[in-house]
A = this chain, B = another copy of it.
Amino acid sequence: MTTPLAQQLAQQTATRPATPPAAAPAPGTPPVQAPPEAVRLRLYQMMVEMRDFEKRAYDLFLQGLVKGTSHLGLGQEAVAAGFGAAMHPGDYTFATYRGHNHTLARGVQMAPVMAELMGRQSGLMAGKGGSMHLTSVAHGMMGSYAIVGAHLTIANGAAWSSKLRGTSEVAVCFFGDGATNIGAFHEALNLAVVWQLPVVFVCENNRWMEYTPISSVTAVAHPAADRAAAYGLEPLLVDGNDADATYAIASAAIGRARAGGGPSLVEAETYRHGGHSRADPGKYRPEEEVQAWLGRDPIPRYRQRLLDAGIDEAVLVSIEEQSRRAVDAASSAAEASPPPDVSLVGANVWADGGASWRR
C-alpha cells in the first residue's frame, strides 16, 4: 500500500506493516508505534469492561433477565476500544445491533445500558429501544441500528451537518462484513467521497454473517478493503484484535477527516467468540477456526504486551477488579429498577411527547 494514510501508518510501524496478512496475523507481533501509556491503560480498561459487561449480559440472558435478542461483541473489543479512544467528545458514533461495546466506548454508564437490555424503567431509553438500539446523544452515541446497512447513510448525514455548520465533529460508523453486500453500503460510500465528508467507515470483519461465512457470499476476499478503490479510497486493512493497531488507524483516519481530508474505509479483521445472537452456540463454525481466533483474543494479548512494556501488573489487576465491581453494581442497579410504566407505550411518537395522530 502506497497511499497517504497507509504510508503515514507504515512510518509509525516498528517491525511489521500496520495491516497484517489477511490469513493469520501472528499473535504477539510487535505493535505499531505504541500509544502513550495513559492511552494504553485506557484501551485495556475499556476492553476489560466491555468483556465483563458482555459476559454478564450473557449470564443475565441465561437467567431470563435479558429478554428479546442481544448480539454480543465478545472478542471484538479492540475495534470499539481503539476507535472509541481516538474519538473526541462530540464526535458521532453510529453502531449496529452489536453495539454494546461501542456504546460503553463513548463513556455511557453500564447501569442504564444493562437496564435497557433488561427492559427496565432506568434503561438508557427506558426499555423502548432494547439491546439493538442503544443511543445516548449526550455521549455522541447517535444510535445503534438493526437494519443492516442503513446507518452508513445516516452517518453521512451527521458528517455533512458537521461540515455545513462548520464545526469539527467526525462521524464514525461501525458495521459488519455482511453489511458490505447491501445496497446502502454502496450508496453511502459513494456519497461520502463525492461530498468529501468527515466520516470514517469501520467494517468489523468477523468472517460470518449470521450462520453463513462471508467468503461464500462475497465476490472479493476482503469485503471492505477490496471495495475501497470503487470509491477512490485507499484500502485499509487492520488487525482488529490489536488495540494499538486499531487505535493508530483510528487516530489517522479520524484526524484526516477532521482536517478536511474526507472519508476513510477501514476493514478490521476480528472474530466473535460466541454465536451471532442470544443462545446461538455458533456451532456452524469450524472448531480450528474458533480455536485459532480464541488464541488471538485481544485482551490477554494486550495484557501481555503491557506487561512486556514494563507496566506493573498491580495496575492491571486493579483495572480488572474495578471493572468487575462496576459490572456488579450496574447489574444490581438494573435489576432493582422496575419495568417501565406502561404509559411509555404512547410516549414520544411525536415531538409533543405523545402518540395522538388526530385533531
Contact = CB atoms under 8 A, between A and B. Distances in A.
Contact of A183 (B187, B194, B216): B187
Interface string A195-237: 0000000000000000000001111100000110111110000
Interface residues on A, range: 20 to 34
The secondary structure that dominates the A interface is: helix
Contact of A230 (B183, B217, B230): B230
Nearest to A181: B190
A66 B9 CA distance: 61
A56 interface: no
A178 to B, nearest CB: 12
A60 interface: no
A185 B190 CA distance: 12
B187 A181 contact: yes
A217 B229 CA distance: 16
A184 interface: yes
A186 interface: yes
Contacts of A22: none
Give the 10 A-B CB pairs with smallest separation, nearest first. Answer: A183-B183, A186-B186, A193-B219, A230-B230, A219-B231, A227-B230, A219-B232, A190-B219, A183-B187, A181-B190
In the complex, which of the residues A217, A219, A220, A229 has the most CB atoms of chain B within 10 Å of its own CB atom?
Answer: A219
30 contacts: A181-B186, A181-B187, A182-B183, A182-B186, A182-B187, A183-B183, A183-B184, A183-B185, A183-B186, A183-B187, A186-B186, A189-B219, A190-B217, A190-B218, A190-B219, A193-B219, A194-B216, A194-B217, A194-B218, A194-B219, A219-B230, A219-B231, A219-B232, A220-B229, A220-B230, A220-B231, A220-B232, A226-B230, A229-B230, A230-B230
A220 B183 CA distance: 17
In the complex, which of the residues A187, A190, A194, A216 has the most CB atoms of chain B within 10 Å of its own CB atom?
Answer: A190
A183 B150 CA distance: 11
Contacts of A226: 229-230
Given A181-B187, A183-B187, A229-B229, 11 more contacts: A182-B186, A182-B187, A183-B183, A183-B185, A186-B186, A189-B219, A194-B217, A194-B219, A219-B233, A220-B229, A227-B230
Contacts of A219: 189-190, 193-194, 230-233
A188 B114 CA distance: 40
Contacts of A217: 190, 194
A253 B218 CA distance: 22
Contacts of A218: 190, 194
Contacts of A227: 230
A193 B186 CA distance: 16
Contacts of A186: 181-183, 185-186
Nearest to A228: B230
A231 B231 CA distance: 13
A230 B86 CA distance: 29
A163 to B, nearest CB: 17
Nearest to A221: B232
Interface in A152-197: 181-187, 189-190, 193-194
Contacts of A184: 183
A218 B229 CA distance: 12
Contacts of A187: 181-183
A218 B193 CA distance: 8
